A and B are shown apart, each in its own frame.
Chain A
Amino acid sequence: MTLAVKNIETFYGGSQALFGLSLEARGGAATSLLGRNGMGKTTTVNSIIGTLRCRRGEIFYRGEKISDLPAFAVAQKGIGLVPEGRQIFPNLNVRENLTATAANYNNSPAPWTLDSVLDLFPQLKKRLNNMGDQLSGGEQQMLATGRALMLNPELLILDEATEGLAPLVQRDFWRKLHEIKQTGISLLIIDKNLHELCRLADYHYIIEKGAIAWHGASDALRSDAALKARYLGI
C-alpha cells in the first residue's frame, strides 16, 4: 500500500473539518476522491502533504508514518502535489518553475527531466521564457503537473485536476493523466468529471462531511445512480 490514511481528524482552529477519515492508495494505481464542495477533499490533501497537521489519526506512506513530518519532508518522501488553483510562481518563468525545485529524492533510475516533461506537454516548449502568470489556464495546469513530476514522485496528488479548463483542454489533459499512470506513478485525483475518473481510476472514495461515506471500484460507482445522486448531486 503506497498511502494509508487512518482515522484522521483535522481542524481549522476550533472548527473540525475531518472526522476520522480513512483511505488508501495502492502503488501504481489511480485512486479518486469525490465529493461535493466543502466536504473536506482539499483538507484531506493538505493533511496528507503536511501543510495541515491532523490532530488525531495517522498517515503512512510506504509503511512510514508521515503525519508528524513538515511539508517539505513529506515532499522529499516522494509525494508530489498539483494544487487546486495550480499556484504557479508568477515571479519565475516557465523553465524556472520546472527546474528550480526539480529533485530525485527517491533515486528513480529514469527520472523526469525538463525534456521528458516538455515531451509530455509540448505546448510548454514555446512558453519556456514566459513568466508563470503569462500562461493560459491549461498551460498553467500542465506547468503545475510538470513541476510536480520534476520531483519524481511515486505518488502524485491532483487537487481539482481539470477545474476551469476548456473542454478540449480537459480531454487532452485526461489523456496525459493516462500516460502518467502508465509510467507507474500512483495517482490520487480529485475532480468532478465522474466519467473520466471512472475510466482512469481503479478505486474511488466519496467524502461526505469530513468522512468517507462510500468506497468501491469504478463499475460499482458507475452503475449506482442512487449513490451518485445522494453524494455527488448527479
Chain B
Amino acid sequence: MTPVSRSAGVYALIVVLLLAAPPVISFTGQAFYLDLLTRALILAIAVASLNLIVGCGGMISLGHAAYIGIGAYSVGIPAYYEVYNGFIHLGLALACSAAFALLTGAVCLRTRGLYFILITLAFSQMLYFTLVSIDEYGADDGLLIHRRSEFGGALDLEHPAALYYAVLAALLLFLFAMHRLIHARFGRVIFGSKHNDSRMQALGFDTYKYRLACYVISGAMCGVAGFFLGNFTHFISPEMMDWTRSAELIFMLVIGGAGALFAPVTGTAAFLLLEEFLSGWTLHWHLMFGLLLIALVMFAGRGGLHGALMRLDHRPGGPGKR
C-alpha cells in the first residue's frame, strides 16, 4: 500500500475544514469568520493564478493585482448601468483580463528578470491611473455595487454561504486544472523554460508562445478572483489594483511556497490571519506583522509552508522522498 504523505494529509484536512466551515460558523454565530474565509479564498484564487507564472514559469509579476481590478470592474461597471447578469459579468472578467494579459504579456515576455518585473508594474500602474482619472466610474473613490451578480435561480450570491461555496468551488476547480496543466507537456515545457529557456528552444519549442499562453491563463484566472472580490465587497476602486496589492500577493505565495499547488491556500490564510489577529491586538501591528512575515519566510526556509510540510514527510515515520 502506498503510504500517504503527511503533507497530503494536511491539505486534505484543510479542504475538509473549508467544506465544513459555513455550517460550523453559522452554528457559532460568528459570521465575521465566514467573511474572512471568503476573502481568503478569493485572494487564494489570485495567488494561485500568480503561482502559475511565478512558481511554474519563473515570471515574477508586480502587476498581477491589475487583473483583480479588471475582474472587479467587470462587475462594477455593468452594475453601474444596472446590468446584473452574472454570466455577462463573469464573461467580461474572463475576456477582459485575458485580453489585457495577451496585450501586455506580448510586450513583457520579450524581457526577463528585473525588466519583466518593471514592465508588469508599469502596465498595472497605467491601468490604475487610467481608472483614477475616470470620474464616471468614481475615480479615486470607486463605485458601490448595490446588487451582486445574478445567475438566475441557479446561484444566489447574495447569500454569504452560497458566495463562499462558489468561491471555494472555483478555487478547487482552478487548482485541479492547474494540476492537470502543469503535469501535461505544456507545464513541463514551462518548467523547463524557467530553468533553461534556450535549451528548451533548442529542443524545438517556441517558448515565447508557451509562456504567453501561461501568462494569459494566469491573467484570466486572476480576473475571476476580481469578479468574486467585487461581488464580495459590494465595492470597486482603483485601489484594488495598486502595486502594493500585487506585492502582497507575492508575499502570500512565498509564505505558502511558490510552485507548490496548494501553497496559495496556506500562504493566503497565514497572511490574512496574521493581519487580522495582530490588527485587533495592537495599534502598532504593522511592525509586528512585518517581523512575523520575515520570520515565516526565514524559518519556513526554501519552499515556505509547503517546504516545511514536505520536511515532515522526510522525518522518521514519514513516507520519505518521492
Report which A residues bind B (CB closer than 8 A). Answer: 49-51, 70-76, 81, 83, 87, 89-92, 96, 99-101, 103, 105, 129, 147-148, 151
Q: Check if A90 sits within 8 Å of B195, measured CB to CB.
A: yes
Chain B residues touching A, majority SS: helix
Contact of B195 among A70, A75, A91 (CB under 8 A): A91
- Knowing A83-B199, A89-B196, the reply to whether A101 touches B205 (Cβ < 8 A) is yes
Offer 12 A-B interface pairs, CB within 8 angstroms, sorted by A: A51-B201, A51-B202, A70-B206, A72-B204, A83-B202, A89-B191, A96-B188, A99-B185, A101-B188, A103-B204, A105-B204, A147-B203
Residues in A neighbouring B194, C-beta threshold 8 A? 91
With CB as the reference atom, state the residue of chain B lying closest to A150.
B203
Contact of B207 among A72, A92, A148 (CB under 8 A): A72
Shortest Cβ gap from B212 to chain A (Å) = 14
Residues in B neighbouring A92, C-beta threshold 8 A? 188, 191-192
Compute how far the CA of A37 lies from the CA of B202 in the bound complex, rounded to whole angstroms: 23
Q: In the complex, given contacts A91-B191, A101-B204, what are 12 additional A-B residue pairs having Cβ atoms less than 8 angstroms apart?
A: A50-B202, A51-B202, A70-B201, A71-B198, A72-B201, A72-B205, A75-B201, A89-B199, A89-B200, A92-B188, A92-B192, A101-B188
Q: Check if B199 sits within 8 Å of A87, measured CB to CB.
A: yes
Q: Check if B191 sits within 8 Å of A151, measured CB to CB.
A: no
Q: Check if A75 sits within 8 Å of B202, measured CB to CB.
A: yes
Residues in B neighbouring A129, C-beta threshold 8 A? 322
Task: Name the interface residues of B165-221: CB closer than 8 Å to any CB of A.
Answer: 185, 188-189, 191-192, 194-196, 198-207
Compute how far the CA of A87 lies from the CA of B198 in the bound complex, rounded to whole angstroms: 10
Q: Check if A89 sits within 8 Å of B204, measured CB to CB.
A: no
With CB as the reference atom, state the residue of chain B lying closest to A75.
B204
Compute how far the CA of A208 lies from the CA of B74 in the bound complex, rounded to whole angstroms: 64
Compute how far the CA of A151 lies from the CA of B204 in the bound complex, rounded to whole angstroms: 8
Compute how far the CA of A75 lies from the CA of B185 in the bound complex, rounded to whole angstroms: 17
Q: How many A-B residue contacts, CB cutoff 8 Å?
A: 64
Shortest Cβ gap from A166 to chain B (Å) = 25
With CB as the reference atom, state the residue of chain B lying closest to A103.
B204
Shortest Cβ gap from A146 to chain B (Å) = 12
Q: Check if A72 sits within 8 Å of B192, measured CB to CB.
A: no
Chain A residues touching B, majority SS: loop
Interface size on B, residues (CB 8 A): 19
Q: Check if A100 sits within 8 Å of B192, measured CB to CB.
A: yes
Q: Check if B207 sits within 8 Å of A100, measured CB to CB.
A: no
Compute how far the CA of A83 lies from the CA of B203 in the bound complex, rounded to whole angstroms: 11
Residues in A neighbouring B203, C-beta threshold 8 A? 72, 75, 101, 147-148, 151
Q: Check if A89 sits within 8 Å of B192, measured CB to CB.
A: yes
Compute how far the CA of A45 lies from the CA of B128 in the bound complex, rounded to whole angstroms: 47
Shortest Cβ gap from A145 to chain B (Å) = 13
Compute how far the CA of A74 lies from the CA of B201 in the bound complex, rounded to whole angstroms: 9
Q: Check if B196 sits within 8 Å of A87, measured CB to CB.
A: yes
Residues in B neighbouring A99, C-beta threshold 8 A? 185, 188
Shortest Cβ gap from B221 to chain A (Å) = 22
Residues in A neighbouring B322, C-beta threshold 8 A? 129
Compute how far the CA of A103 lies from the CA of B206 in the bound complex, rounded to whole angstroms: 14
Q: Check if B202 sits within 8 Å of A49, measured CB to CB.
A: yes
Residues in B neighbouring A83, C-beta threshold 8 A? 199, 202
Q: Check if B185 sits within 8 Å of A81, measured CB to CB.
A: no
Residues in B neighbouring A103, C-beta threshold 8 A? 204
With CB as the reference atom, state the residue of chain A lying closest to B192.
A89
With CB as the reference atom, state the residue of chain B lying closest to A76.
B204
Q: Check if B202 sits within 8 Å of A89, measured CB to CB.
A: no
Residues in B neighbouring A89, C-beta threshold 8 A? 191-192, 195-196, 199-200
Shortest Cβ gap from B51 to chain A (Å) = 15
Compute how far the CA of A70 lies from the CA of B205 in the bound complex, rounded to whole angstroms: 10
Contact of A51 among B198, B205, B207 (CB under 8 A): B198
With CB as the reference atom, state the residue of chain A lying closest to B207.
A72
With CB as the reference atom, state the residue of chain B lying closest to A77.
B204
Compute how far the CA of A93 lies from the CA of B201 in the bound complex, rounded to whole angstroms: 19
Compute how far the CA of A81 lies from the CA of B198 in the bound complex, rounded to whole angstroms: 12
Shortest Cβ gap from A41 to chain B (Å) = 16
With CB as the reference atom, state the residue of chain A lying closest to B200.
A101
Residues in B neighbouring A87, C-beta threshold 8 A? 196, 199
Interface string of B217-261 (1 = CB under 8 A from A): 000000000000000000000000000000000000000000000
Residues in A neighbouring B200, C-beta threshold 8 A? 89, 101
Residues in B neighbouring A151, C-beta threshold 8 A? 203-204
- Knowing A100-B185, A129-B322, the reply to whether A71 touches B201 (Cβ < 8 A) is yes
Residues in A neighbouring B205, C-beta threshold 8 A? 72, 101
With CB as the reference atom, state the residue of chain A lying closest to B56.
A91
Compute how far the CA of A76 lies from the CA of B185 in the bound complex, rounded to whole angstroms: 17
Shortest Cβ gap from B90 to chain A (Å) = 33
